[in-house]
Amino acid sequence: PKIGAAIADADIIISMNHFKGHEQAGFGGALKNLGMGCASVAGKLELHSAAQPKIETENCIGCNICVKHCAHDAVHLNAGRKAEIDYDKCVGCGQCVALCQHDGAVMGAGDTSERMNYKIAEYSLAVVKNKPNFHVSFIMNVSPECDCWNHNDAAIIPDLGILASTDPVALDKACADMVIQAPILHTGNALSAGHEHDDLCGHDKFHLMHPDTDWLAGLRHAEKIGLGTMNYELVKI
């Protein structure tokens, strides 16, 4: 069966999540996996519906990478070798934003990271509502971008291990806190290049990598709608 129908018919929800950065949500963990990963095709399009990117023409260098990697043939170079987006084809996936190294493709004003995270929280609640649920997150190879792309940068921190909880909100908050407190790896990744002599312990690494995102807003909303709590006790095994 299709993913939406399979999730709706499930008696128990068990998720396994790779915890990493995310160019639109801030980070991807249990809620991102539940809310986006378990949505139907129509649901995924609705989640991205207002997130269509735009081209900052003055920053575009015409490198063509966004054109080559757009899965929906929505980006092309115009006569002036500047990228343009066909919004009749664009589904708002954000791949061009993730790929562009020159701030030529950026998120449009039609949506915000906060609103996307609100929708992810609400979809997550629909997935687990009235069902036993358990979630396992791997804080390993914590890359700066989503796993959806066919590329990624080097890990930003050392591997921290595996966390598990029956509360996906508490789990995401605990994972985020551990990454924030961890030192960065100096291996030419998305953070070390600009902080050669810093360890960034205690700094919000997700916001440093993706300044326009607000992952905490999503957890606050998830807590407000009754999905879980950000309060947690970390039990080491």
Is residue 98, in this structure, part of any structural domain at all?
A: yes
Same domain, 132 and 100: no
Amino acid sitting at position 220:
R
Can you read off the two tokens belonging to residue 223? 């807590």
Query: Which residues, 6+ apart, have CB-to-CB distance to 129 below 8 Å?
Result: none
Same domain, 87 and 134: no
Name the residue with higher pLDDT: 230 or 145: 230
Q: Quickly list DSSP for 65-107.
A: HHHHH-TTS-EEE-TTS-EEE-TTT-----HHHHH-SSS-EEE
Is residue 46, in this structure, part of any structural domain at all?
A: no
Which domain-ending residue is among 67, 86, 107? 107
CATH number at residue 103: 3.30.70.20
Same domain, 220 and 141: yes
Which domain-ending residue is among 81, 107, 133? 107
Q: In sequence order, what are the beta bridge partners of 61?
A: none
Which domain-ending residue is among 107, 131, 151? 107
Can you read off the two tokens belonging to residue 230? 């950000």
pLDDT in tens, 160-186: 999 999 999 999 999 999 999 999 998
Is residue 231, in this structure, part of any structural domain at all?
A: no
pLDDT in tens, 189-205: 778 877 878 899 999 99
Name the residue with higher pLDDT: 101 or 207: 207
Report the interhelical angle of 113-128 vs 41-48 (nearest 10°).
150
Same domain, 95 and 212: no
Same domain, 122 and 165: yes
CB atoms within 10 A of CB 218: 28
**160, 139 Cβ separation under 8 angstroms:** yes
Tell me which residue has tokens 């493709």: 105
Q: What are the respective helix, strand and coil percentages of the chain, to the nearest 5?
A: 35, 15, 50
Range of the domain at 178: 3-41+112-224
Is residue 179, in this structure, part of any structural domain at all?
A: yes
DSSP annotation of 5 reads H
Beta strand 161-165 with 53-55: parallel, antiparallel or unpaired?
A: unpaired
Same domain, 167 and 214: yes
Is residue 237, in this structure, part of any structural domain at all?
A: no
Report percent pLDDT > 70 for the chain.
93
Same domain, 166 and 195: yes
Report the interhelical angle of 168-181 vs 215-224 (nearest 10°).
150
Is residue 230, in this structure, part of any structural domain at all?
A: no
